[in-house]
Amino acid sequence: MKRIADLSAVRYDEKGLVPAIAQDAATNDVLMLAYMNADALKATLESGCATYFSRSRQTLWKKGETSGHTQKVREIWYDCDGDALLLKVEQTGPACHTNAYSCFHNPLTARDGQSVSFGLLREEYELICDRREHPVQGSYTNYLFDKGVDKMCKKIGEEAAEVIIAAKNPDVQELQYEVADLLFHTMVVMAQRGLSWDDVLTEIKKRRK
């Protein structure tokens, strides 16, 4: 992250604060809203890790300092009036203290009554990783971990074949179901081998031309 802007362009309110919106740099999903003062912004620029100002505790707090759910800042933008900041970040783990991928997971209005984004895949991946670390009796995910990579790969092969068959059938809902199965089993293998969605998205970004 290069510091190229004049910091005097940032306009703080009467309390010395400016709202800061964190956005996933890979997916553009909005993750959270917090506040910064001049010291928090300076700390963020110097460390490359999102640091905010807690209005309740009246102190700086580095995102993920206790939870490990850090935000590596790629870019910082300010709006046309200079009174709001946008942080494009690489999010590790969920952004919300409720363990949701994004703090904005309660739809007030949404298309067809649903609010679905790529963040759902991240949440599912985190759940799969949690199952690996904290097994649950009767969990299908833990069954796959117990059986190992060979079983996982066999399931991926089966699901890939079912995606092919569904793609040739007229019912698109069948394809939807089979793609979801394929993605799930792929994520189990990813978790088994320590490969994250950030790793996959980085590879995809390299291929964009």
In a domain? residue 37 = yes
Digit-coded pLDDT (tens) for 149-171: 999 999 999 999 999 999 999 99
> Do residues 83 and 127 both lie within one domain?
no
- Is residue 91 classed as helix, strand or coil in its secondary structure? strand
Task: Determine the Cα–Cα distance for residues 105 and 122; give it in Å rounded to an integer.
Answer: 13
Across the range 93-97, mean pLDDT stands at: 89
With respect to residue 99, please indicate whether it lies within any of the assigned structural domains: no
CATH number of the CATH domain containing 22: 3.10.20.810
pLDDT at residue 198 tops 90: no
* Domain interval for residue 188: 118-207
pTM as predicted: 0.65
40 found inside a domain: yes
197 Cβ contact list (under 8 Å, min separation 6): 26, 121, 122, 125, 190
pLDDT band at 2 (very low <50, low <70, confident <90, very high): low
19 and 85 together in one domain:
yes
CATH number for the domain spanning 141: value is 1.10.287.1080
* Whether 128 and 86 share a structural domain: no
Q: Which residues are registered as beta bridge partners of 91? A: 71
Give the C-alpha distances (Å, rounded to integers) separating 60 from 35, 36, 42, 120, 181: 10, 8, 11, 30, 43
Residues 122 and 198 in one domain: yes
Residues 25 and 86 in one domain: yes
Please indicate, yes or no, if residue 98 is contained in any of the structural domains: no
Per-residue pLDDT tens over the stretch 113-160: 555 667 788 889 989 999 999 999 999 999 999 999 999 999 999 999
Q: Any idea what DSSP says for residue 96?
A: S
Q: Are residues 82 and 138 in the same domain?
A: no
One-letter amino acid at 200 equals V
Instruction: Note whether 57 and 136 are same-domain residues.
Output: no
At 43-71, the pLDDT tens digits run 999 999 999 999 999 999 999 999 999 99
154 occurs within a structural domain: yes
Residue that finishes a domain, picked among 91, 110, 132: 91
| Domain count along the chain | 2
